[in-house]
Amino acid sequence: MFACKNCGGNIIYDIKSKKLVCKICNSSFAPESITKENDSVDYDYFETTIFTCPQCGAKIMCEENEASSFCTYCSSSTVLTSRISKEKKPDYIIPFEKTKEECIASFKKITKKAILAPNELKDEKILDKFKAIYVPYWYYDVSQDNHFSVSAAEMYNNGASAFTAYVNVTGDINGEFEGLSRDASYNFSDDLGERIAPFFSSEKKKFYPSYLSGFYADVSDVPSNVYEHEAVELANDVAREVVTGEAKAENDKLKIYLSNDEATKQFGTTVTAKKALYPIWFMSFKQKKKIAYMTVNGQTGRAASDFPVSIPKFLLATIILTLLLFLPALGGMFLFYETAPYMFLDVTLLLSIAAYIIYYVQMKIMQIKDADSEDAGKFYKKYGVVYIKNKDKNEVFKKMLKDSLWDIIIGAVYVLIVISFMWDTLSILSLTGVIDVMFKIILSFGNLVLAVVGFIRGGRLKNSSKYYGILVGMISLVIVLAGQFIAPQNKYLCIACGMALTLGCFFTIMDLIKYHNELSMRQPPHLRRRGGDEIADTYNM
Amino acid sequence: MPILIICSLFIAFFIAFILCFFIAKITSTPAKIKAEQGEFELSGIKYNCVAKNIKVVSKAAMMYQKPYDQN
C-alpha cells in the first residue's frame, strides 16, 4: 500500500488524471514522486505482495488486499495465500489509459457480433469482473550499424535472350528499432496478445512501483530469447527493403538475395531485451474447469476474445431456422410427390456429405489449434527450444501440400463422385435404379471413411474422448449402407435411413460445437499440476 | 401427405443446424487481420533505418539464348 503524504491514507493510480489520488483527502501526486521506504534502498528491486492461488497456482502481484479473495486467472472465490516479495523492477510501464467503463464499452462492441455467445458475457454483473492487470512483456530494442557487402543480381530480358549480371552491393547501414514487444507470461496466450496489439511504446514511462497501486500485475515467466529471433528478423526485413530501395536508385533491375542469418551478420544486427508492463483489462469466464479469457487493450481499447458457443442458443437458433426453412422444403418435396421418400434419402445423403466434410476439415484445424504448436511461449515451455516460424511462403506452401496430399487426392475423387451423384439425382433418371443405389453405397462408405478419420484425429485432441456424437453418425451411415443392400426400393426404409442420417449428422455437428467450446476456453496453466479446481464457482450456460 | 411433411421437416432441420454451425463459427472467432498473424507489426514501434554510401560493383555476367519459338 502506498500512503498519502498528507493524511496517510491509501493512494491509488487514477487513470483519468494519470496521478496517484488519495481516497480520503483527495490529494494527488505524480507517480514518480511516491516511493516506499525500501524502494529507495534498492534500485533494481521493489517490494510487493505476491498472491498465490491455492487452486490454480497462478501468481499475481498486488498492493491491495482485495486480491486475497478472488483469483483473476481461474475465477475461484478462494483465499489466496500472500507473501511479501522483492521483485526485479521492470524497465518500463505503459500506464492504463482506458477506464473500466471504456473497456466494457469496447468489449460490448465485439460481443454484439457474437450472437450465439452465452448471455452471461453480456451481463453487466459479469462484465463488472473485468480487472486491470499489468501483463509482463519483453520490450526489444534492435540496432544495426555496419558496413555491408551483399550479393545481388541484375536481370535483363530482350525477348530473344536473357542476361544476368551478378554484382556486389556495398554500403553502410544504420538502424534503430524500439518497442518490438511480446508477452512474457505463459498465462497469456500469444494469440490474444497479438489480437489486442499494438501497444504504442511512445507512451511508455520509466517504471515506478507506485504505478501498480490499485492494479494487479502478472509475474513474468517466459525467457527473453523466445521471441528475440522475431525482433531480429523484422529489423532485417526492413533493412533489406531499405538497401534494395537505395540500390534500385542506381539500377532498377537489381534483386538482392539475403537470408536472415546472413542479414544479421552483414547488418550487424544486435538485440537487447528489456522488461515492461503493459496494461490489459482482463476477465476470466468460467465454465466447469475451463476458462475463457476476455481481454481489452488498456491503452487503445482494442478488445479480443474467443467466444464459446451457448448450446441452448445454438439449439434455439436451429429451431427458428428449421421453422423458416420448413415451407420452402415442403414446396420442394411437392415437386417430387411420387418419389418423395427416395428423393428425401438422396437430399439427406447430399447434405450429410457436406456435414462430414465439415467434420473432417474442422478436426484437422482443431488438432493444430489444440497442439498449441504456434504459441512460442508454450512451445518453449513444452519442448525447451525456441519456436521459429517458417516465413518462406514457398516452403510453407510445399509443407502444406505434402501434409495434405492424401486429403487433396481423396477430396478430388470424392467431389467427382458427388457431382456425378447430383447429376444422377437431378436428372431423375431413376431414384431407385442400380446406378443410384451404387452411388448411395459409395457415398455412404465415403462419409464413413471421413467420419472414422475425423474421429481418429479427434482422439489425438486433449480431453476429446468424452465426445461420442460422431459414433451416432457412424451408426447412421451403417444403417444407410445396410438399407441399400437389403431393400433400396422400400420407401419406408428410405425415410428411416434419411432420418437416421439427419440425426447422425446433428450429433456429429454437436461434437464440433463442443470441441470449439473446449478450445475457445483455456485450462488455467497451473491447474493440471494442482489437480483441478473443485470448489470454484461455476456459471451454468 | 404426412410423409411429405416429415421429410420436409427433417430436410429443413438438417439445413438449419449446418447453417447455425457456420453462424456460430463465424461469429465466435473474429477473423484475424494481416498484422495479427504471429509477426511483429511496425505500427506501435519507433524505428529509423538508413542505408548510405551504396555502391554497386560488378562481379560476373551470364547470358543464355532463349529456345527458338516454333510459333
A329-350 pLDDT tens trace:
999 888 877 788 888 888 898 8
In angstroms, how far is CA A100 from the centroid of its own chain?
24
B34 vs A: CB within 8 A: no
Is residue A92 predicted with pLDDT exceeding 60?
A: yes
Task: Specify the pLDDT at position A541.
Answer: 28
Domain shared by A17 and A143, yes or no: no
In a domain, A539, yes or no: no
Closest-CA residue to A185 (of A234, A221, A146, A210): A221
DSSP A353-407: HHHHHHHHHHHHHHHHHHTTTT-HHHHHHHHSS-------HHHHHHHHHHHTHHH
Contact by Cβ (8 Å): A208, A35: yes
Calpha distance A263→A270 (Å, rounded): 11
Query: What per-residue string of b and e applies to A339-366 under the rule 16 or more CB within 10 Å gives b?
Result: bbbbbbbbbbbebbbebbbbbbebbeeb
Residues linked to residue A22 through DSSP beta bridges, in sequence order? A11
Q: Do A341 and B3 touch (CB under 8 A)?
A: yes
- Looking at residue A121, its amino acid is L
Q: Looking at the predicted structure, is the pLDDT value of residue A535 above 50?
A: no
Q: Say if residue A299 is in the same domain as residue A383.
A: no
pLDDT at A28 over 70: yes
Check CB contact of A350 with chain B, cutoff 8 Å: no
Same-domain pairing of A289 and A345: no
**Do residues B47 and A178 make contact, with C-beta atoms less than 8 angstroms apart?**
yes
Residue A239 lies in a domain: yes
- Is A193 strand, coil or helix? helix
Euclidean distance between CA atoms A401 and A454, whole angstroms:
19
Judgement on whether residues A271 and A228 belong to the same structural domain of the protein: yes
Closest CA to A59 of A217, A184, A207: A217
Please report which confidence band the pLDDT of residue A448 belongs to, taking 50, 70 and 90 as the band edges. Answer: confident
Give the C-alpha separation, A25 to A43, whole Å.
Answer: 30
Please report which confidence band the pLDDT of residue A393 belongs to, taking 50, 70 and 90 as the band edges.
low
Residue B44 and residue A199: Cβ atoms within 8 Å?
Answer: yes
- Characterize the bridge pairing of strands A19-22 and A11-14: antiparallel
SS3 annotation, A56-84: CCCEEEECCHHHHHCCCCCCCCCCCEEEE
Contact A173 B51 (CB under 8 A): yes
Residues A435, A486 within the same domain: yes
On whether both A435 and A509 belong to a single domain, the answer is: yes
Rounded CA-CA distance A430/A433 in Å is 5
The secondary structure element, H or E, covering residue A280 is strand A270-287
ipTM field: 0.72
Residue A56 confidence (pLDDT)? 67
Nearest CB neighbour to B21, from listed A231, A328, A513: A513
- Which whole number is the average pLDDT over A138-143? 91
For A184-227, where are the E strands, in sequence order? Answer: 205-206, 216-218
| pLDDT confidence of residue A532 | 29
In angstroms, rounded to a whole number, what is the distance separating the alpha carbons of residues A281 and A294? 8
Of A48 and A448, the structure prediction assigns the larger pLDDT to A448
Q: Is residue A43 included in any domain, yes or no?
A: no
Residue A73 in any domain: the answer is no
Query: Which residue range(s) make up the domain with A426?
Result: 339-520
pLDDT of residue A525: 42
Rounded (to 5) percent helix, strand, coil in chain A: 45, 25, 30
Residue B18 C-alpha, separation from nearest chain A C-alpha, in angstroms: 7
The average confidence (pLDDT) of chain A is 78
- Number of Cβ within 10 Å of residue A87's Cβ equals 16
Cβ distance A169 to B55 less than 8 Å, yes or no, reads yes
Q: How far is A228 from chain B (nearest CA, A)?
A: 11
Q: Is A158 helix (H, G, I), strand (E, B) or coil?
A: coil
Terminal C-alpha separation, chain A:
38
Query: Mean pLDDT: which of A194-203, A210-219, A305-314 is highest?
Result: A305-314
Contacts of B41 in chain A (CB under 8 A): 197-198
Strand runs labelled E in A53-160: 59-62, 81-88, 92-93, 131-157
Question: In the predicted model, what is the mean pLDDT of residues A401-418?
Answer: 75
Give the pLDDT of chain B (71 residues) as one tens digit per residue: 788 899 999 999 999 999 999 999 888 865 444 444 444 455 667 788 888 888 887 766 555 555 555 44
Query: How many residue pairs bridge chain A and chain B with CB atoms within 8 Å of each other?
Result: 257
Contact state of A162 with B64 under an 8 Å Cβ cutoff: yes
Would you say residue A53 lies in a domain? no
Whole-number CA gyration radius for chain A: 30
With a cut of 80, say whether residue A436 has pLDDT above it: no
Q: Are residues A247 and A153 in the same domain?
A: yes
Residues A242 and A348 in one domain: no
Cβ neighbours of residue A86 closer than 8 Å, sequence gap 6 or more: A42, A45, A46, A47
Q: Where is A284: in which H helix or E strand?
A: strand A270-287
Among the listed residues A312, A98, A304, the one whose alpha carbon sits nearest the alpha carbon of residue A203 = A98
CB contact under 8 A, B30 and A195: yes
Interface of A with B in 145-174 (CB under 8 A): 151-152, 159-174
A111 plus A211 within the same structural domain: yes
Same domain, A458 and A505: yes
Provide the residue type at A198 as one letter.
P
CB A100 within 8 A of CB A16: no
User: Residue B38 has what DSSP assignment?
Assistant: S
The pTM (predicted TM-score) of the whole model is 0.73
Q: Residue A210 and residue A193: Cα distance in Å, rounded? A: 25
Distance CA A490, CA A401 (A): 44
Per-residue cell: A446: 465415403
Domain ranges of chain B: 2-30
Lowest mean pLDDT among A37-41, A254-258, A406-410: A37-41
For residue A504, how many other CB atoms are within 10 A of its CB? 28
Structural domains of chain A, count: 3
Instruction: For A343, list phi and psi in degrees, rounded to 5.
Output: -60, -40
Domain shared by A140 and A280, yes or no: yes
Residue carrying the nine cell digits 470441441: A515
The answer to whether residues A284 and A389 belong to one domain is no
Q: How confident is the model at residue A452 (pLDDT cuts 50, 70, 90)?
A: confident
What per-residue confidence (pLDDT) applies to A288? 66
CA A146 vs CA A235, A264, B57: distances in Å:
14, 10, 18
Q: Which of A402-411, A435-444, B54-63 has the lowest mean pLDDT?
A: B54-63
> CB-based contacts of A396: which residues, under 8 Å, 6+ apart?
A390
Question: Which among A174, A246, A499 has CB closest to B54?
Answer: A246
Q: How far apart are CA A503 and CA B17, in angstroms?
A: 11
% of chain A surpassing 90 pLDDT: 13
Strands across the sheet with A28-29, in order?
A: A11-14, A19-22, A28-29
Specify the range with the lowest mean pLDDT, choosing from A204-208, A428-432, A481-485.
A428-432
